[in-house]
Structure 1
Amino acid sequence: MPRRTATMLTSTLLLIALLCAGLLIKVPYSEMTPGPTVNTLGDHGGEPVLQISGRKTYPTSGHLNMTTVRVTSAEYNMNVVQAMVGWLGHDNIVVPHDTLYPDGKTEEESTQENAEEFSQSQESAKVAALQELDIPVQTRVVVASVVKDSPSQGRLHAGDVIKSVDGRKIGKPQDVVKAVTGHKPGERVKFTVIPAKEAAAAEKAGKEPTGSKDVSVTTEAAEDDGRAVVGIQAGTDHTFPFDIDIKLADVGGPSAGLMFALGIVDKLTPKDLTGGKFVAGTGTIDEAGKVGPIGGISMKTVGARKKGAQYFLTPEDNCATAAKDTPDGLTLVKVKTIDDARDSLEDIAAGRTGDLPRCSAS
């Protein structure tokens, strides 16, 4: 066999061997790609994303799109070739598997956690939107969850409204923590609560819950630091003056909070917030209206631009990353609060885009 032919044959066989090895060797990575983007002012799956009843609403135009990221499943085994293709691609990101599924978290556990975060983000979005419009919202501290086999199991229940602890009025969840940890392990704590059933019935009737009772719970030492605990997680619950339903299936995580809140504000105010413009965005939101950072920002900007977005509301802490690779034709608008976002939307609607607070890579 001529030397040149032998060399080419050897090189070809070596290349095939390397390719086969690349397909067989698994690496601990996962992939993120742009996910669906949905207009919070419009319909999805045949019904409005935001449904408000019991309060006058107003026509809207344009878009206020929430954005998502698709991720590979916890069981997905990426090989070397797939990882290399992902690293070289523009519209996807390859990240360590533990970034998406830390501590060996399963697909089911991750889905459940995302669902809980999504539900909480909806609640926070409603509160932030109504507070932005100076519409009163009744807030109360509740037992959010009870730890199995803890001192509180069977004595306190999820949904119980916590009125006081040891006779001291409770105004926020942190007050419960402070009152309990002020004890020594083994001491008793007196909770004054309105049972969950009575609280739920009162909320359904649109009334303030009444009929409290005292419950004593003996503290125990926390495993990590030995402080006194009773095995509950305190949280907040709200009674809204009218019904606000957010209908969006197969979405998880907290990052749509800002766009939900803005959609609610737009529907409850006579002035058209977008002026017909296509605006997308992302960001968590707390009940005070503060916007927080999210993951996968570059995938969300790509997905938004492909859908037609002209402007993208970007959490301040995500700005530098997003600005490093901004899709052509998309303006990144920096926001820190729902107030910032609303002001920028009014400028966009009026065509005053020169002074928008834009993201920079520095």
Structure 2
Amino acid sequence: MVIRRIKILNILFILGIILILLYFIPLPYYVTKPGLAEPLRPYVKVAGAKKDKGEFMLTTVSMGKANVYSYLGTKLNDTYHLYKINDIKVSGESDEDYQFRQLRYMEESKQAAILNAYKQANKSYKVIENGIIVVSVIKEMPAYNVLMLGDIITKINGKAIHSLNDFTKTIKSSKPGTNFQLEVDRKGEKKYYTIKTKAFKNEPKRSGIGVSIAENLKLSTKPKVKINSEEIGGPSAGLMFALEIYDQLEDENLAKGYEIAGTGTIDKNGVVGPIGGISQKIVAASKSGAEIFFAPSENGRKNSNYYEAVQSAKKHHLKIKIVPINTYEQVISYLENLKTKK
């Protein structure tokens, strides 16, 4: 009897060890799930701003490397989504490189948010364009092992590069094998490289040097504004940052007493673009008490972010008003015409 009990305990012990090991064994996937929806005011500080009723909310998606348990979770919970590593990362990109890229996209979205809010509020701001910054380098492309993350490209063939458009127009029109001379600012030191373009493996008719880039802007504003996005990455909070900044700049209560969430990239011209994970973000927003949710409609495109959000809301029986939008001005107009909540 004692021997049998010891055998059972040994079996249970071994099973316990196996179950623990399964947690730590990574799979070649990422799992995403609804993250948080929380007020933006703690993240955004405009000098002299007053507190209003209602809130603009930041929505996020939680993502982590898959293990056996989270993988199984995607089969049991339809708000959990599974992605191959190559769907998330650029070829040859490390975890640290991926995080750098996401944080840089967040920085770019914050800059665009500030520009749009200050323009809309007719407040003073100044923009200095200072080249473009390298945020990722594709393995097996010419720039790999030549350019580094954080490099600022200031000139191509002796011509100053101020914006993304300057860069893409110059490179995009080139044929494979075209040489370009780059002037690069690397941590304050000038570097010079000659890089030859190459056709992309998956797009043989298109050539490039194999970098993802972002604009390197410097902003000064009056009144001053500070956005502390902590370790949140990606460009998808741009629209909501712009709304929170504008709300703090203006005396009028823009939220009108409502809990308002949303998502979408925003560029310098106020165009709102699509993002990933909106079906999960609408779930996070609803759980956190949001009453209104702004979703990019992509000019009415079939299967747009707006369409995806509506389908997710229906599927999960969410009681939240989803508003399709294409531009920042559309959102401002909607809110200005919104009746104050009683």
TM-score w.r.t. structure 2 length?
0.69
Aligned to 2:327: 337
Q: Are 1:29 and 1:78, in contact at CA under 8 Å, matched by a contact in 2? A: no
Matched, 1:222 2:216: no
Aligned to 1:357: none
Aligned to 1:94: 81
State the secondary structure of the residue aligned to 2:235: coil
Superposition deviation, residue 84 in structure 1 = 4.8
CA, structure 1 residues 31+149, in 2 after alignment: closer, same or farther (shift >3 Å)?
Answer: closer
**Could you tell me how far apart the structure 2 residues matched to 1:116 and 1:176 are?**
18
Q: Are 1:185 and 1:227, in contact at CA under 8 Å, matched by a contact in 2? A: no
Matched, 1:52 2:46: yes
**Could you tell me how far apart the structure 1 residues matched to 2:333 and 2:180 are?**
52
Superposition deviation, residue 220 in structure 1 = 4.2
Gaps of 5+ in 2: 1-18, 136-142, 201-205, 298-303
Quick one: which of 58, 63, 83 aligns to 2:55? 63
Which AA in structure 2 matches 1:325?
S
Identity of matched residues, %: 25
Superposition deviation, residue 172 in structure 1 = 3.7
Report which stretch shifted further, 170-179 or 295-304: 170-179
**Could you tell me how far apart the structure 2 residues matched to 1:223 and 1:313 are?**
40
Aligned to 1:346: 336
Q: Are 2:264 and 2:275, in contact at CA under 8 Å, matched by a contact in 1? A: yes
Q: Are 1:141 and 1:173, in contact at CA under 8 Å, matched by a contact in 2? A: no
Aligned to 2:165: 174
State the secondary structure of the residue aligned to 2:68: coil
Superposition deviation, residue 269 in structure 1 = 0.7
CA, structure 1 residues 175+26, in 2 after alignment: closer, same or farther (shift >3 Å)?
Answer: closer
**Could you tell me how far apart the structure 1 residues matched to 2:88 and 2:319 are?**
30
Matched, 1:113 2:105: no
State the secondary structure of the residue aligned to 1:312: strand
**Could you tell me how far apart the structure 2 residues matched to 1:143 and 1:68 are?**
27
Q: Structure 2 matches for 1:238-253, cutoff 5 A? A: 238-242=218-222, 243-253=224-234
Superposition deviation, residue 67 in structure 1 = 0.3
Matched, 1:324 2:316: no
Report which stretch shifted further, 109-118 or 297-306: 109-118
Aligned to 1:260: 241
Report which stretch shifted further, 104-113 or 257-266: 104-113
Gaps of 5+ in 1: 1-19, 44-48, 199-214, 352-362
Superposition deviation, residue 83 in structure 1 = 4.1
**Could you tell me how far apart the structure 2 residues matched to 1:182 and 1:87 are?**
46
Aligned to 1:206: none
Q: Structure 2 matches for 1:278-293, cutoff 5 A? A: 278-293=259-274
**Could you tell me how far apart the structure 2 residues matched to 1:299 and 1:289 are?**
25
Quick one: which of 253, 258, 279 aligns to 1:298? 279
Q: Larger Cα Rg: Structure 1 or Structure 2?
A: 1
CA, structure 1 residues 57+144, in 2 after alignment: closer, same or farther (shift >3 Å)?
Answer: same
**Could you tell me how far apart the structure 2 residues matched to 1:187 and 1:323 are?**
46
Superposition deviation, residue 130 in structure 1 = 1.7
State the secondary structure of the residue aligned to 1:240: strand
